[in-house]
């Protein structure tokens, strides 16, 4: 048996993808209104009955606003800023932050899935 909770966040940013032909539109600087989905899956609940308190996810919003909102992603991360790489980058932040520590303390093991959407019809996800 598993439980899961999820929360969506958003930010606006620009990027330019390296390694594409010059004729590809993503090779030019352009922007997106990103949506980030964070899903946490656990096999047990804490004493209150939560997988995690949604308020513990406030740090994700703070991080996204500080690190990415209204910035050029090429200047913010050291990998090509594709949706896939961004999903992994955000996943790693969450797993290494207080949220990851809290989840390990409460559940021992858990699964974290991070999705990044650049448009309403496209999603890239990362989990370990």
Mean pLDDT value of segment 2-17: 97
pLDDT, tens digit, 9 for 90 and up, residues 77-95:
999 999 999 999 999 999 9
CA distance 36 to 18: 22
- What confidence score (pLDDT) does residue 112 get? 94
- Nearest to 5, CA basis, from 46, 44, 42, 34: 42
CA distance 122 to 42: 26
Is the whole-model pTM more than 0.85? yes
Domain 3-127 has CATH 3.30.479.10: yes
Q: Facing residues of 122 across strands? A: 119
pLDDT, tens digit, 9 for 90 and up, residues 14-66:
999 999 999 999 999 999 999 999 999 998 888 899 999 999 999 999 999 99
């Amino acid at each position: 048996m598993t439980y899961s909770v999820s929360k969506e966040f958003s930010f606006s940013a620009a990027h330019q993808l390296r390694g594409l032909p010059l004729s590809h539109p993503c090779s030019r600087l352009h922007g997106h209104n990103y949506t980030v989905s964070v899903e946490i899956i656990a096999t047990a609940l804490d004493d209150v009955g939560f997988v995690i308190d949604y308020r513990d996810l406030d740090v994700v919003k703070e991080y996204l606003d500080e690190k990415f909102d209204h910035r050029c992603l090429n200047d913010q991360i050291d990998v090509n800023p594709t949706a896939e790489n961004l999903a992994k980058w955000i996943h790693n932040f969450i797993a290494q932050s207080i949220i990851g520590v809290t989840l390990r303390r409460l559940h021992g093991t858990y699964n974290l899935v991070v999705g990044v959407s650049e448009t309403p019809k496209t999603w890239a996800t990362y989990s370990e």
